Amino acid sequence: MIIDLPDTTVSAISKKLVSVREEGGAVALGRVLTLIIVTHHGAEEEVIEAANDASREHPMRVIAVLFGDDDAEPRLDAQIRVGGDAGASEVVVLRAHGAAGSNAESLVTGLLLPDAPVVAWWPADAPEDPSHSAIGRIAQRRITDASSQADPAAWVAHLGEHYAPGDTDFAWTRVTRWREQLAAVLDQPPYEPVTAIEVRGAADSPSTALLAAWLGMKLDAPVDYAYLPSDEWSSGIKSVRLTRPSGDTLLERPESGVAVLTQPGQPTHDLAFPRRTLRECLAEELRRLDPDLLYGRVITEGHDLLLAASERDAS
């Protein structure tokens, strides 16, 4: 069910939500969090759909805040979606025009679930310092996406400068499968130290640097990472090579969606390595509402090591 509320107020939206629950029997008691999505007009449906899919694992209230032209006449339009149009969540879409969007915090505070964690998600353009933004200040977790920024590599390089506990980025979420597979390899014999690390990825892949930073920090070994030209590799991480005394372990994608694991003295293994969807990334981040301390270490300690190495190479 979709209910349109043109030229409305936050108070009227809140009252309508209560009315919908009472009339339709829908209850909010099972909602475990409030997800605030900050985006712009015309880009909302894909991310709302991802949130609806993720809500089947994490029932929640979704508040999508869409900002339009600052010079438009001030007006707040809203839409409430429940039932089949909202997955296992209830969705409130706020379209703020003109000065009505000047105070983002006031638009959402009256619609938050009481005593439930708040997660903020910027699927596209994100504030440089999320934890100090209007929406970020009221959220326990703050999710950005480096791949959707104007310069993904530069965005990742500066994540550590404004990091606050609770921050995370989908560039980190997308390397989960790589980290799991590489950790599994190193948990098997031979138990030898890694003496060199090589990571390769596409020019548009901010995850490449984060994976390299994590490996360098965890294995305490020199890291060589580089971005490949688009005609050689189009998107995402291409390969990771770990050098040990007994030989090299190589995890490499010959094509998108598939990876081949090569180890000394063992047959090669073909693995499914599809690019993770927005729904998968969002669902993973919503599984933990406490700060991701490992991510914080990687973008501060680990990434600092990579930046220092890059500066030495440049000099």
Helix (H, G, I), strand (E, B), or coil: what is residue 19? Answer: helix
Confidence of residue 270 (pLDDT cuts 50, 70, 90): very high
Q: What is the pLDDT of residues 139-175, one digit of tens each?
A: 999 999 999 999 998 899 899 999 999 999 999 999 9
Q: Phi, psi (5° rounding) for residue 273? A: -135, 65
Cα dihedral sign for 217, 218, 221, 226? negative
The helix (H) or strand (E) run that includes residue 39 is strand 33-40
pLDDT digits (tens, 9 = 90+) for 283-304: 999 998 999 999 999 999 988 8
- The pLDDT of residue 307 is 74
pLDDT band at 130 (very low <50, low <70, confident <90, very high): very high
Is the Cβ–Cβ distance between 8 and 77 less than 8 Å?
yes
Q: Give the CATH fold of the 176-273 domain.
A: Dihydrodipicolinate Reductase; domain 2 (3.30.360)
State the pairing for strand pair 75-81/237-244.
unpaired
Report the percent of the chain where pLDDT is more than 90: 74
Residues of the chain above pLDDT 70, percent: 94
pTM of the full structure: 0.92
Q: What is the spatial distance between Cα 158 and Cα 163, in angstroms, rounded to a whole number?
A: 9
Concatenating the DSSP letter of every residue in 233-281 gives --SSEEEEEEEETTEEEEEEEEETEEEEEE-TTS--EEEEEPPPPHHHH
pLDDT digits (tens, 9 = 90+) for 205-259: 999 999 999 999 999 999 999 999 999 999 999 999 999 999 999 999 999 899 9
pLDDT digits (tens, 9 = 90+) for 30-69: 688 999 999 988 889 999 999 999 998 889 999 999 987 7
Task: Report which secondary-structure segment, H or E, holds 34.
Answer: strand 33-40
Closest CA to 273 of 201, 169, 196, 210: 201
